[in-house]
Structure formats: C-alpha cells, structure tokens
C-alpha cells in the first residue's frame, strides 16, 4: 500500500512539473506575441521560427539534426558555443497560434529526449524572408499614421508598459508632435530613452514633463533618483525636494533627500530627513541604515 501511495505521489509531482513548464512557456509565448502584435506584426501569417538545442556530445545533436532536416527544418548552425557545449539551431517557416507554438515546443522537447539531447532551449522568430526585418522602423511609423489620437496614445502606453522602448520612443514622439497628453508623453518618452541607456536625452524629457506639469510627482522623484545615480547630488536634492512638496508623506522621497545631503556633507539635514522618513515608515531599511552610519561617525 505504501508503495502505491509513493508511486501516486511521484506521478502527481511529475504532472505538476509538466504544468509548471507549460505555464512558463506559455507566459513567454504570450509576452513575445503581445509585443509583436503591438508593433503591427501580423502573427497569423507565415513567420520564420528558430529552435535551439544544446549538448556536450555533438553526435547526439547530429542525430537530432538529421531527424529535423527530414521534417523540412533548415540547419542554421551546429557548432561549439560560448558555454563550451555544442549548439544546434534550426529554423522553419510556419504559421503558429500561441497554443500551437506551445505544442511545437513540447514536441521538440520530447524529440530532444528521444535523442538524449541535454537541453531544448526555446525559440525565436523573424520575418519569413530573413533578409527583411520583422518590424522595420519605416513600416512601424507608417502604421502610426492610420491611428486616431486615442489609439496612438493607447498603443504608445502599451509599448511603454511592455518595455518595448525603441517603439515606445517613436510612438510618444508622434504623440508629442500631435500635442497628445504632453506632460505624460514626455515623461514616458524620457523613461523609454533611459531604458535604452540614453540618459541625457531621457533626463531632458523628464525635465520637460516637470515644466509642463510642476506637480508631476513621478517625474520629480525619478529625476532625483537619476541625478543621484549620476553623482549630481545638488540636482538630486532639488528634484527630491520638489517631489516632497507634492507628497510630503512619502518616506522614500525623504530618504532620497537624506542620501544626497549625506554625500554633500550636510549631515544635520540628512539626519533630520532620515528621522522624518522613519517616522512615516519605521520599516524603511535604507533610512535606518543611513542613520546608523551617521551615528557611528559621531
């Protein structure tokens, strides 16, 4: 009887692992399909799907490769990777829904196990014509021309939420050109530039958002944080203090002021702001640590 219960437990655990893997794969598929569709890609048409496998034993990948070539996959590469193991990359022009792509992934996982290949490592997607980008800048810009102001701003915001920063920049620049929600468009444009590492222009856009809307808390707060990270502590204090005037009960803002003041050697003011932050939120560990550091220096 104990053995039966043990086998049932193993089976339940096995099913749970399969479900967890399916959920993870579907979440990844949904994320990529969402981003493609936001950018105007027709995911119902044939696209070039690539699939990846890894093993330290090249002969196993050779056997898998031959099986896949017989099923009309095209070989991209079979070579040593940077991880000191062999990588197999094949591709095939297919039409996939989200659910059919999950089925394809599970099929390839089973096939890799059949040939005792160590890892099936997922997929990527491109244009069916590999010489043409899946999403060209010019095509994306043309697609924006057909949208109403409401549709344009909604699309830009969805791109922003999905951290598709390059396309969000194009869309929000178009919003600004059309005078759509200028303060928020500049703010999100700035955050998108910063997401691509273009700090200088990103900060310029955040500052424009504050000029348009002096009560823009998030813009002031982010400017305080960015200037702190870039060691411009006076400007950090300036924007954190603007944020504090908008929301004086935000402990994170008060800590931000204190941190910049501490670096500037304004220890008394820094201590005061740390204590105010902790009064608002006793669990603010950053303020608590900074206050401890100042007490040790006394």
Whichever domain contains 36, its CATH number is 3.30.70.970
Q: Say whether both 119 and 152 belong to one domain.
A: no
Amino acid 82: pLDDT: 81
Query: Quick check: 3 pLDDT over 60?
Result: no
Q: Is 70 inside any structural domain?
A: yes
Query: Quick check: 16 pLDDT over 80?
Result: no
Burial class of 137 by CB neighbour count within 10 A (0 to 12, 13 to 18, 19+): exposed
Q: Is 132 inside any structural domain?
A: no
Q: Say whether both 122 and 147 belong to one domain.
A: no
Q: By the 8 A CB rule, do 98 and 89 touch? A: no
Q: Say whether both 144 and 89 belong to one domain.
A: no
Please give the tally of structural domains in the chain. Answer: 2
> Tens of pLDDT along 233-287?
999 999 999 999 999 999 999 999 999 999 999 999 999 999 999 999 999 999 9
Q: Is 239 inside any structural domain?
A: yes
Residue finishing a domain among 127, 160, 183: 127
Q: Say whether both 97 and 143 belong to one domain.
A: no
Answer positive or negative: Cα dihedral of 140, 143, 149, 152.
Answer: negative
Query: Quick check: 223 pLDDT over 80?
Result: yes
User: What order do you get walking across the sheet with 119-127 strand by strand?
Assistant: 74-80, 86-94, 47-55, 119-127
Q: Say whether both 75 and 208 belong to one domain.
A: no
pTM over 0.85: no
Burial annotation 62-99 (CB, 10 A radius, 16+ → b, else e):
eebbeebeeeebeeeebeeeeeeebbbbbbbebebeee
Range of the domain at 106: 2-127
Average pLDDT of span 221-226: 98
The domain that contains 246 carries what CATH number? 1.25.40.10
Q: Say whether both 107 and 80 belong to one domain.
A: yes
Average pLDDT of span 210-226: 98
In angstroms, the first-to-last Cα distance of the chain is: 70
């Amino acid at each position: 009887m104990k053995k039966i219960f043990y086998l049932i437990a193993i089976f339940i655990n096995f099913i749970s692992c399969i479900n967890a893997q399916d959920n993870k794969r579907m979440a990844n598929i949904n994320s990529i399909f969402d981003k493609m569709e936001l950018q105007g890609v027709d995911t119902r048409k044939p696209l070039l799907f690539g699939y990846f496998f890894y093993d330290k034993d090249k002969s196993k990948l050779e056997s898998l490769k031959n099986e896949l070539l017989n099923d009309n996959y095209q070989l991209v590469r079979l070579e040593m990777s940077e991880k000191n193991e062999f990588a197999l990359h094949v591709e095939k022009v297919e039409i996939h829904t989200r659910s059919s792509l999950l089925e394809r992934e599970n099929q390839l996982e089973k096939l890799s196990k059949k040939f005792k290949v160590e890892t099936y490592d997922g997929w990527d997607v491109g244009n069916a014509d590999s010489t043409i980008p899946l999403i060209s800048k010019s095509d994306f810009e043309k697609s924006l021309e057909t949208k109403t102001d409401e549709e344009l701003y909604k699309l830009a915001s969805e791109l922003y939420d999905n951290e598709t920063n390059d396309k969000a920049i194009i869309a929000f620049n178009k919003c600004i050109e059309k005078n759509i929600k200028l303060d928020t468009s500049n703010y999100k444009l700035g955050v998108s530039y910063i997401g691509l590492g273009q700090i200088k222009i990103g900060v310029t856009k955040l500052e424009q958002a504050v000029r348009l809307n002096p009560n823009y808390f998030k813009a002031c707060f982010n400017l305080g944080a960015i200037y702190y990270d870039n060691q411009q502590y006076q400007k950090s204090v300036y924007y954190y203090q603007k944020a504090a005037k908008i929301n004086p009960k935000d402990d994170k803002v008060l800590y931000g002021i204190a941190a910049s003041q501490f670096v500037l050697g304004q220890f008394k003011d820094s201590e005061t702001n740390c204590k105010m932050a902790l009064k608002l939120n006793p669990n603010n560990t950053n303020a608590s640590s900074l206050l401890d550091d100042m007490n040790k220096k006394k």
